């Protein structure tokens, strides 16, 4: 009997290893210390929570499809033209849309070896081929990227600062990368952690977008604004790219609660300043505590650290993960990023960081 052909997804889809988010549960702990997903330690602005609650009686209505108030609030806050802003259900959605619009079968999408996993995943989902460039000291290497640009390259994704390494490229290095690219290649600068960066030579990408037609900057409300559960991100684009994204995004891609909370969050500069000050205090504190335990740290400018553990079993990263989890502390394993010897640990509240540092000291000292 002749067999009917079965259902087959598009090429590339079955090559995808599904993204696994950070753990949210630790058995036996009702409220574990959650340091696995880089959410801001202090939680959202109280004004954002109030704006979210105030919408409860209106959730039978469709949201405003253009997120106009939110784009205007972002425009005021960052000095940007709101017509060049496109909002999305998290910056993840904007990564997906950029790939869908600008890359497809036969095209290459370039990213840094330890860049954010959603770049290769979404490149494959679009039918394109992800190409990873090696790094120097876990830092994006502009020359290695440029060496891999081919006439099939359509997009380069740079997370700046990068997740999971916490390292960054200076504004000058990003300009150097951009200057060497053909105008047909899109440079997507993912500045999800930009608000935490406290370095004079850093720039999130706005200046480059302002002077080039082939650069976009992605931002999120999931990190410093602590609205990860609402799924809200935005892209600042050249007008032609904003037009393209607006053609393909679904008409109600950002929920009304996310829009309202986003406006309140972006206007609450006090909550923002508190979150920055918190990270500026606890990132160096935690980093130096881990260093005194003999762990190798990659210098981070974001709200997390990447800690390298010894490679022998009783002290390795898997053992540390299990030890912490059994004490109600959730960190992130890095095997999916090709860094199985490391754990990524988010900067939580002060008392959470003190607890983690104490538990890690016990782990490193245990016989
Ligand atoms: C570099 C980077 N870009 C984008 C995202 C996705 O953020 P969102 O929650 O806005 O989809 C993350 C989340 O971890 C990230 O680390």
Q: What is the pLDDT of residues 183-214, one digit of tens each?
A: 999 999 999 999 999 999 999 999 999 999 99
Are 209 and 236 contacting, i.e. CB atoms less than 8 angstroms apart? Answer: yes
220 lines ligand 1 (CB under 6 A): yes
Atom of ligand 1 nearest to the CA of 193: 1
- pLDDT given at position 307: 97
Q: Burial letters for 181-201: b for 16+ Cβ neighbours within 10 Å, e otherwise?
A: beeebbbbbbbbbbbbbeeee
268: DSSP letter:
-
- pLDDT given at position 313: 83
- pLDDT given at position 201: 98
For a ligand 1 pocket test, name from 222, 224, 229, 301 the mutation site with the most ligand atoms within 8 angstroms of its C-beta.
Answer: 222
- pLDDT given at position 26: 84
331 lines ligand 1 (CB under 6 A): no
159 lines ligand 1 (CB under 6 A): yes
Instruction: Report the percent of the chain where pLDDT is more than 90.
Output: 92
Cα torsion through 46, 49, 51, 57, rounded to 10: -150
For a ligand 1 pocket test, name from 164, 169, 190, 192 the mutation site with the most ligand atoms within 8 angstroms of its C-beta.
Answer: 192
Are 100 and 126 contacting, i.e. CB atoms less than 8 angstroms apart? Answer: yes
300 lines ligand 1 (CB under 6 A): no
- pLDDT given at position 312: 86
Are 251 and 207 contacting, i.e. CB atoms less than 8 angstroms apart? Answer: no
- pLDDT given at position 20: 85
- pLDDT given at position 1: 66
Question: By alpha-carbon position, which residue is closest to atom 7 of ligand 1?
Answer: 91
Render each residue's pLDDT in the chain as its tens digit; 367 residues: 677 778 999 989 999 998 888 888 888 898 999 999 999 999 999 999 999 999 999 999 999 999 999 999 999 999 999 999 999 999 999 999 999 999 999 999 999 999 999 999 999 999 999 999 999 999 999 999 999 999 999 999 999 999 999 999 999 999 999 999 999 999 999 999 999 999 999 999 999 999 999 999 999 999 999 999 999 999 999 999 999 999 999 999 999 999 999 999 999 999 999 999 999 999 999 999 999 999 999 999 999 999 999 988 889 999 999 999 999 999 999 999 999 999 999 999 999 999 999 999 999 998 6
- pLDDT given at position 340: 96
Residue with tokens 């900067």: 347
Atom of ligand 1 nearest to the CA of 222: 9
CA of 367 to the centre of ligand 1 (A): 38
CA of 223 to the centre of ligand 1 (A): 8
- Least Cα distance to 126 among 90, 158, 155, 148 occurs for 155
160 lines ligand 1 (CB under 6 A): no
């Amino acid at each position: 009997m002749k067999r009917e052909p079965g259902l087959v997804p598009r090429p590339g889809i079955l090559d995808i290893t599904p993204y696994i988010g950070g753990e949210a549960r630790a058995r036996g702990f009702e409220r574990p210390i959650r340091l696995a997903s880089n959410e801001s330690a202090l939680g959202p602005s109280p004004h954002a929570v109030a704006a979210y609650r105030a919408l409860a009686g209106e959730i039978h209505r469709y949201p405003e499809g253009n997120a106009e108030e939110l784009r205007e609030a972002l425009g005021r806050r960052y000095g940007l033209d709101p017509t060049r802003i496109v909002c999305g259900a998290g910056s993840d959605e904007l990564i997906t849309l950029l790939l869908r619009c600008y890359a497809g079968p036969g095209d290459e999408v370039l990213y840094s070896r330890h860049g954010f996993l959603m770049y290769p995943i979404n490149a494959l989902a679009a039918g394109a081929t992800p190409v990873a460039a090696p790094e120097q000291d876990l830092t994006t290497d502009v020359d290695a990227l440029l060496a891999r640009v081919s006439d099939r390259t359509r997009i380069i994704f740079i997370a700046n600062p990068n997740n999971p390494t916490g390292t960054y490229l200076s504004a000058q290095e990003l300009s150097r990368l951009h200057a060497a690219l053909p105008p047909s290649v899109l440079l997507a600068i993912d500045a999800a952690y930009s608000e935490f960066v406290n370095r004079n030579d850093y720039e999130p990408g706005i200046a480059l977008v302002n002077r080039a037609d082939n650069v976009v900057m992605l931002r999120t409300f999931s990190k410093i604004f602590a609205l990860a559960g609402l799924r809200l991100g935005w892209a600042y684009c050249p007008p032609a790219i904003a037009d393209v994204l607006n053609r393909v995004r679904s008409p109600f891609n950002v929920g009304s609660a996310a829009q309202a909370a986003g406006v309140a969050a972006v206007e609450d500069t006090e909550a923002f300043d508190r979150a920055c000050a918190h990270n500026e205090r606890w990132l160096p504190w935690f980093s130096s505590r881990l260093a005194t335990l003999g762990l190798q740290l990659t210098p981070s400018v974001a709200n997390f650290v990447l800690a390298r553990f010894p490679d022998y079993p009783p002290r390795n990263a898997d053992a540390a993960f299990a030890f912490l989890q059994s004490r109600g502390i959730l960190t992130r394993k890095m095997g999916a990023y090709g860094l199985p010897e490391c754990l990524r640990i988010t900067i939580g509240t002060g008392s959470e960081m003190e607890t983690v540092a104490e538990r890690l000291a016990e782990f490193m000292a245990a016989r």
